[in-house]
């Protein structure tokens, strides 16, 4: 917990999380439990896998996005049954509830499971059960976003997109949109034009990781070729004033992940994330955890870190929260409820003795 007088306010904000990879919520404790339950042998030639504590310590020393992804893909190898996926997502939703999340739009990486023989139906069943429980028991609404792995050949991604089970999840609304993640450099958005074109024809929502490790031109590529409605990370936008103006005018929202940016060495400190530049220019953004089990914090830790670095006013925090609600992909009545809760919170906060 941070020491700011605003901590209780930050906790109480009806937060929307738009950038959380469910596989990135796999804590070392759950990883070791599932490895043992499913008889999965973890790498024996890497001392990081000696214990959950050693693994957590290694997570504090990532050198790049690819260094993190190496552990991220090994980690998810312990997920086998629908129950495993449910356990993982339920653990995330419980943390989200404790942090005051009202609505979560969560990523998952089906290719990383299907290529190891775990079916899409298994993954979806586990995640869907946890989502229903989160709605019922925690009051958290959620949407699923199916991500494609940009380091894999485009035809593999297209084949996954066209898989009958995947298509069914698009048609019945259990998956709301698509995303693009994994190694960024050398895999520009333009490669995935066909998938995004097909997604748009199906009425799916569209986002993509761009401008995390890759340059601002990847953000332009995602807007021009993929016709995305959101940009994940997007911190390199601050390098290009004209592009920033374009993003302001289009109202495209960025899903910024400050602790992730530090842990993956995209910036040296949270103070280097262009939060103040975005606020001053009118860029809409939400604040998110990305891979909370790997980057040392859930969403509230990210809010607190931003507050510590930038000392936002109550009005500024309310505007960040409002942008997140308005930029969400849920129904208008859900947004109206969250906007009402936000207004009440701000009024109550300003009236407090
Ligand atoms: N970037 C790209 N791919 C990812 C990330 C990320 O931050 N987290 C999980 N997959
Ligand atoms: Zn991400």
- How many CB atoms within 10 Å of residue 179? 24
Nearest residue CA, atom 10 of ligand 1? Answer: 182
In a domain, residue 82? The reply is: yes
307 annotated as belonging to a binding site for a ligand: no
In a domain, residue 2? The reply is: no
Q: Give the pLDDT means over successive 10-residue stretches in the chain (353 positions).
A: 91 98 99 98 98 98 98 98 99 98 99 98 98 98 98 98 98 98 96 98 98 97 98 98 98 98 98 98 98 98 98 98 98 98 98 90
Q: What CATH number does residue 241 fall under?
A: 3.20.20.140
In a domain, residue 39? The reply is: yes
**Are 104 and 17 in contact, with CB atoms under 8 Å apart?**
yes
Cα diameter, the chain: 61
Domain that holds residue 87: 7-348
- Is 143 annotated in the active site? no
Q: What is the pLDDT of residue 2?
A: 85
pTM, 2 dp: 0.98
Q: What is the pLDDT of residue 88?
A: 99
> What is the full DSSP assignment across 251-265?
TPEEEE-HHHHHHTT
State the Cα–Cα distance between residues 309 and 175, nearest whole angstrom: 35
In a domain, residue 261? The reply is: yes
In a domain, residue 170? The reply is: yes
Q: What is the pLDDT of residue 315?
A: 98
**Are 297 and 10 in contact, with CB atoms under 8 Å apart?**
no
Q: What is the pLDDT of residue 18?
A: 98
CA of 333 to the centre of ligand 1 (A): 31
In a domain, residue 197? The reply is: yes
| Number of folded domains that form the chain | 1
Q: What is the pLDDT of residue 1?
A: 72
In a domain, residue 83? The reply is: yes
What angle is formed at CA 326 by the lines to CA 106 and CA 216, rounded to 5 degrees?
70
> Taking the mean position of all CA atoms in its chain, how far away is CA 241?
25
Residue 288, classed as helix, strand or coil, is coil
In a domain, residue 204? The reply is: yes
Nearest residue CA, atom 4 of ligand 1? Answer: 182
- Select which of 17, 23, 143, 212 is catalytic: 212
Q: What is the pLDDT of residue 3?
A: 87
φ, ψ at 191 (rounded to 5°):
-60, -25
CA of 314 to the centre of ligand 1 (A): 30
């Amino acid at each position: 917990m941070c020491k700011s007088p605003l901590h209780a306010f930050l906790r109480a904000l009806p937060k929307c999380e738009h950038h959380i990879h469910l596989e990135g919520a796999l804590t070392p404790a759950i990883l070791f439990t599932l490895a043992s339950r499913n008889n999965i042998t973890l790498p024996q030639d890497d001392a990081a896998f000696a214990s959950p504590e050693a693994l957590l310590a290694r997570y504090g020393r990532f050198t790049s996005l690819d260094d993190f992804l190496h552990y991220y893909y090994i980690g998810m190898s312990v997920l086998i049954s629908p129950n495993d996926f449910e356990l993982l997502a339920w653990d995330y939703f419980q943390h989200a509830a404790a942090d005051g999340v009202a609505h979560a739009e969560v990523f998952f990486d089906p290719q990383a499971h299907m290529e190891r023989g775990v079916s899409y139906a298994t993954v979806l069943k586990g995640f869907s059960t946890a989502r229903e429980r989160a709605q019922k028991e925690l009051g958290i609404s959620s949407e699923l976003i199916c991500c494609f792995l940009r380091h894999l050949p485009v035809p593999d991604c297209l084949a996954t997109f066209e898989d009958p089970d995947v298509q069914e999840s698009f048609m019945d609304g259990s998956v709301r949109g698509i995303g693009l993640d994994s190694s960024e450099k050398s895999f520009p958005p333009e490669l995935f034009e066909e998938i995004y074109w097909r997604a748009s024809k199906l009425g799916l929502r569209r986002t993509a990781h761009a401008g995390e490790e890759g340059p601002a031109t990847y953000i332009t590529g995602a807007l021009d070729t993929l016709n995305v409605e959101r940009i994940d990370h997007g911190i390199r936008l601050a390098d290009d004033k004209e592009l920033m103006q374009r993003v302001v005018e289009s109202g495209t929202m960025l899903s910024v992940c400050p602790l992730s940016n530090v842990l993956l060495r995209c910036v040296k400190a949270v103070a280097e994330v262009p939060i103040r530049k975005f606020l001053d220019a009118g860029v809409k953004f939400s604040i998110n955890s990305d891979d909370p089990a790997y980057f040392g914090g859930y969403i509230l830790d990210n809010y607190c870190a931003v507050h510590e670095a930038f000392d936002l006013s109550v009005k500024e925090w309310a505007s960040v929260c409002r942008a997140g609600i308005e930029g969400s992909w849920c129904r208008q009545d859900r947004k109206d409820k969250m906007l009402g809760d936000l207004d009440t919170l701000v009024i109550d906060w300003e009236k407090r003795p």
